Amino acid sequence: MCISSVNVCNNINKDKPDTFDPVTVHVRQFTKLFNRMSRKEGIWEKLKVLGRSGRFELDACQDDDIHKPLRYNPVLSVRSQIYCSLSFVTILLDYLCFSTVFRQLPSLSSKVVSSLFLFGSLSSLGQFLSKRRWSKFSEMLRHSLLLGVLCSSRLTSSLWKGSTAHAVVEKCMQSNYSMPWTAFRAVLIAWSVGSLIHLYNQKDTEDAKN
């Protein structure tokens, strides 16, 4: 095997999955893409990296192990698995609510805040799945924010209008929908409180990179 082939294989073997965070994964992919472009000479060769002919570098690698599927599956407790599953459902509800009212949001700032909160929620949950030490605190912050909106006795700032919590509080203030939405609001409050208790009692996990 030639030296260039060995270097390619070594670079690929370093690129093993180590996180469920979608933001981190995409940032890494774009970083690798631009780094590969910077190593090419000439505008045309750099542009070819964006196409099929210059994007992949597996042809020079003769290592059979590189074609084996890699699984990243850190072990979580049953409670953490249940927590992550229910958290993903609540984030999905936030996404559905955000996509429904996006065009109705009053200002650009509210759209930006709602978008950042949605991406931040996905990133935080992904890092929790990856058992990152600091993800416990980012998840507690996320639930604290939602709990503050849900427990508000009046409509909160329009910055949170794209969230499920804001939509539920808004429905509770309408007499025609008050009873069922009040019950749903109580369920969400109980879920946020239970999540905070679970996260508070969660033992600090070792970072996979440390």
Residue 85 and residue 63 share a domain: no
Q: Does any domain span residue 207?
A: no
The arithmetic mean of pLDDT across residues 21-45, rounded, is: 78
Say what the pTM is: 0.69
Last residue of a domain, one of 67, 95, 123: 67
Last residue of a domain, one of 34, 67, 100: 67
Amino acid, res. 16? K
Q: Does any domain span residue 128?
A: yes
pLDDT tens across 102-118, in order? 777 777 777 887 888 88
Structure tokens at 98: 């955000």
Other CB atoms within 10 A of residue 120 CB:
15
| pLDDT of 209 strictly over 60 | no
pLDDT tens across 85-98, in order? 999 999 999 888 88
Last residue of a domain, one of 44, 67, 90: 67
3-state secondary structure of 76: coil
- Give the list of residues 6+ apart from residue 202 with CB closer than 8 angstroms, or none: 80, 136
Amino acid, res. 136? K
Tally the domains of the chain. 2
Q: Which domain holds residue 94?
A: 78-201
Residue 193 and residue 119 share a domain: yes
Question: What's the length of the chain?
Answer: 210
Residue 96 and residue 41 share a domain: no
Amino acid, res. 34? F
Are the C-beta atoms of residues 198 and 83 closer than 8 Å to each other? yes
